[in-house]
Structure 1
Amino acid sequence: MRIKHSSHDSTHQVDQTHHHEDRSFERLKCLLNPHTQLDSYQIHIENVERTWNKLETMRTAGPDALEVVSDFDHTMSKFRENGVKIPSCHGIFEMDPEVTELARNKLKALTERYFPIEFDPALPVEDKIPHMIDWWSTAHQIIVDCRLHRKALEKTVRECNLVLRYAHAYQSIQSFDLC
């Protein structure tokens, strides 16, 4: 993670950046430590070693190699704005003109199957998790199989009317030069 400082002293900037990277990485290590009570963080990690390896790969590759799409459940975006339903990140992909009708039908069928499970108040979270993983994995593969072109997808994203919940938080993220 790079942090831009206003200081003109480049040594200070490198030291601060390195210190921040170490501190952030130490926090991640704490979260992934098998002795850490993850329940207190409300985190479920199916395979800690695999997750740790992925995080280490991302850390060593640096921020220029990182792209994140992480709003399949409207965590970061609003569900509705002025009475209009806002698409999730997978919903945005589904709006892309390169997504085939067959793929759209498959994605719709997945939603019809899994949406009631996701919001079933009688079903415990631990019973929902495998269904949600299956839903996300299957939907993701359907979208990948459409082989969308970056330029078309960029246009779709610009036109999708996405509304972020906490715009100030994303401005803070941009200040860390992560986007």
Structure 2
Amino acid sequence: MTYSTSQLQSLLNRSNVHVRDPEGTVAKIYRLIEVGASNITVISDFDHTLSRSHDEEGGRCPVTHEVFGNRERFPEIVEKFVQLEKKYARYEHLTEGEERVEKMEAWWRESNQVIADQGISRSELSDIVKETKIQLREGAAEFMVRLEQQEIPILIFSAGIGDVISLVLEQTMGRIPANSHVISNMMAYDEKDRICIFSDPLIHCFNKSGAMVAEFSPLHSCISSRANILLLGDALGDAQMAQGLGKDEERILKIAFLNSKPEMLSRFTSAFDIVIVDDQTMEIPTEIMKMID
């Protein structure tokens, strides 16, 4: 694939694209191009990264836990979610520390247990996801198919619900691409095929790091043998998803989608190489991957 410096600069100079270190970022992209598809892994968040944060009318799209947020269908779940938010939300904005992590982990575990206690069947879960407004980001399906064609593995690393992610992909794309693997909070089912528990390890926003990938992903050996990583996220914590995988920072191109809270821009540009503001497409990551053979 041919490319030019001017094409790349045009991509990064868009009004909604913010790059803290243009020279260093361009060098990272050139490095991806030079090493080729056989030396690249993609690590991506799901909620509001591969999926949209708002729809075409501007309405907010739910994250995976929120497929159970229909008050008419799940009044008990919604009420308990509200109670848990009142109990734990104040800890979310504490200065980084052990107490914050403990409280967030408790919030995740208790929320997952609320869902498991409802005894929802596998088939009912499929119907629930089909009815939800979770939508893949525009171009995300094509992006994943392109990666599959390039034989580039993609690790979908999410603090959401893995079963919901898989169903969204299956229902939207017709299948889960063979190059894809999900690390997320997975449901376990009883003999009646009803959700009974969430399996360990619990994944939350503060433990999404390479250590989790190394321990639980069958893609780890593949990632280890590939020199470069394209990382995609929508939260500050996502910038650490490749930490601990033994890759030098100059070999990790980090792209963030800043879907809301524009006041966070400076913090995002400090953590990521490229920050894309209020854009519901996968256009820029796709254009970068088009440059790679």
In the superposition, the TM-score normalised over structure 2's length comes to: 0.31
* Higher strand fraction (1 or 2): 2
